[in-house]
Structure 1
Amino acid sequence: MINNIEKKIKLAFAVSVGSFITSVVLVAVVCFFAYSLVNEQRKNIYVLDHNVPVLVSQSAQGTNRMVEYKSHVNMFHLLFFTLPPDDAYIKANLSKAMYLVDDTGLAQYNNLKEKGYYNSILASSAVLTIKTDSVQVDENRHFRYYGRQRIERSTSIATRLLVTEGDLQDVPRTENNPHGLIIKNWKTVVNKDLDYVEKKSF
């Protein structure tokens, strides 16, 4: 009789311990999946588009950083080298460009200004545009920019090869610097004529 009671107590104890361990395991598994689900949901952001919620995805800052590096370099060169014969437009573009570069960009701007570069554009009604060929960025965030500048005057069209290089440094993102980058040690490596065509006069 006593042996039966002891066996039943041991069985009940074993069942209790087993149930407890099973419950702990189940709770741990449920918590793990709940935590994973919450993390996944946090990556989903809803944006209202005319009062209609649209699902967008959140990604890590470094996911597309290389794309941002190239875009930043490209944006700076477009702003710095796109120069129509419009003084207000030139000043506005160069002002935006200065937010993207350190004092080496300002030094080059002041050098060109002192040489009368911008005044000559206005005087000759020249239109300067630039086309990006490629932007190369290495693992140390050192870049090299390749582009072609088109200089159209009333009597001619010239094409120049432009190659510049510099380094990229992270800075806080602002409205004027959406990529959160600044170009440092910027310099022109190559700036030479590729083509020159005189316009026909009738």
Structure 2
Amino acid sequence: MLVKNIEQKIKINKAVSVAAIVFAVIVVIAGFVTAYQLVRDSRKSLYVIDNGVPILVKQTDELLNRPVEYRSQIELFHRLFFTLAPDDRYIKENVEKSLYLIDDSGKKEYTNLREKGFYNQIISGNSLVTVRGDSIKLDLPGRKFIYYGTQMINRKTSLIIRRLITEGNFEDMIRSPNNPHGVLLKNWRILDNTEMSNKPKSY
């Protein structure tokens, strides 16, 4: 009887020991997982100094924010490419900045407009050209976009408003100072640039 009691106590002790070891392992694993999550979340927390006051901001997932960056890149390219002043140096600087955001299709369109004398007309006519983006349609699976905008040509004697619709593709690339969004526009072309109105100015 004594031997059976001893054997039973040994079995109980073994079971308790095994349970304690398993519990300790679970606690250690849970501690590692919790610590990893805390470190990962802390890396998403950034402090921005605003007038000497640190403000906590959260870093968002890049994939969630990517469509916003695609739209911003498309908008930026069109604004740089189509915002023109009667200054040859200003035109070249704006176009050069825009060409960092696009493949050879942008250079071809620039050459085409230059050969048609478009930029010379802007300079000689003392015109100011601006563009307003109305909407951008993104096809994320197909990596395509359609840009809808309005182009305004402000001349000495008239204000010309033209419709501007373009399309192209986009792909991810390495970010750089000249391309901060890391997006390259490709196969870009103008679909529609028809005149909608030509209003003479009254003096």
When normalised by structure 1's length, the TM-score is: 0.92
Distance in 1 separating the partners of 2:125 and 2:81: 19
Distance in 2 separating the partners of 1:47 and 1:125: 43
Distance in 2 separating the partners of 1:6 and 1:200: 110
Q: 1:182 is matched with which residue?
A: 184
Query: What pairs up with 1:162-181 in 2 under 5 angstroms?
Result: 162-181=164-183
Aligned-residue offset at 1:52 = 4.6
Query: What pairs up with 1:90-101 in 2 under 5 angstroms?
Result: 90-101=91-102
Q: 1:40 is matched with which residue?
A: 41
**Greater Cα offset, 122-131 or 57-66:** 57-66
Given the superposition, is the C-alpha separation of residues 49 and 158 from structure 1 closer, same or farther in structure 2, using an over 3 Å criterion? Answer: closer
How many residues get paired? 201
Q: 2:61 is matched with which residue?
A: 60
Q: 1:82 is matched with which residue?
A: 83
Identify which of 147, 155, 158 aligns with 2:157. 155
Aligned-residue offset at 1:181 = 1.1
Aligned-residue offset at 1:48 = 4.5
Identity %: 46
Q: 2:30 is matched with which residue?
A: 29
Distance in 1 separating the partners of 2:199 and 2:149: 19
Aligned-residue offset at 1:189 = 0.5
Other structure's SS at 1:62 match = helix
**Greater Cα offset, 121-130 or 19-28:** 19-28
Distance in 1 separating the partners of 2:200 and 2:52: 56
Other structure's SS at 2:194 match = strand
Given the superposition, is the C-alpha separation of residues 50 and 158 from structure 1 closer, same or farther in structure 2, using an over 3 Å criterion? Answer: closer
1:168-191: CA deviations, max 9, x gaps? Answer: 111111101111111111111111
Given the superposition, is the C-alpha separation of residues 2 and 36 from structure 1 closer, same or farther in structure 2, using an over 3 Å criterion? Answer: same
Q: 2:109 is matched with which residue?
A: 108
Q: 1:196 is matched with which residue?
A: 198
1:34-72: CA deviations, max 9, x gaps? Answer: 222222222223344566543222222211111111111
Distance in 2 separating the partners of 1:119 and 1:158: 17
Q: Give the AA of the match of 1:101.
A: I
Aligned-residue offset at 1:110 = 1.0
1:46-99: CA deviations, max 9, x gaps? Answer: 344566543222222211111111111111111111111122211110110110
Q: Give the AA of the match of 1:39.
A: R
Distance in 2 separating the partners of 1:43 and 1:134: 31
Distance in 2 separating the partners of 1:115 and 1:64: 39
Distance in 2 separating the partners of 1:7 and 1:138: 71
**Greater Cα offset, 1-10 or 156-165:** 1-10
When normalised by structure 2's length, the TM-score is: 0.91
Q: 2:3 is matched with which residue?
A: 2
Distance in 2 separating the partners of 1:7 and 1:186: 82
Distance in 2 separating the partners of 1:9 and 1:115: 98
Q: 1:131 is matched with which residue?
A: 132
Given the superposition, is the C-alpha separation of residues 198 and 49 from structure 1 closer, same or farther in structure 2, using an over 3 Å criterion? Answer: closer
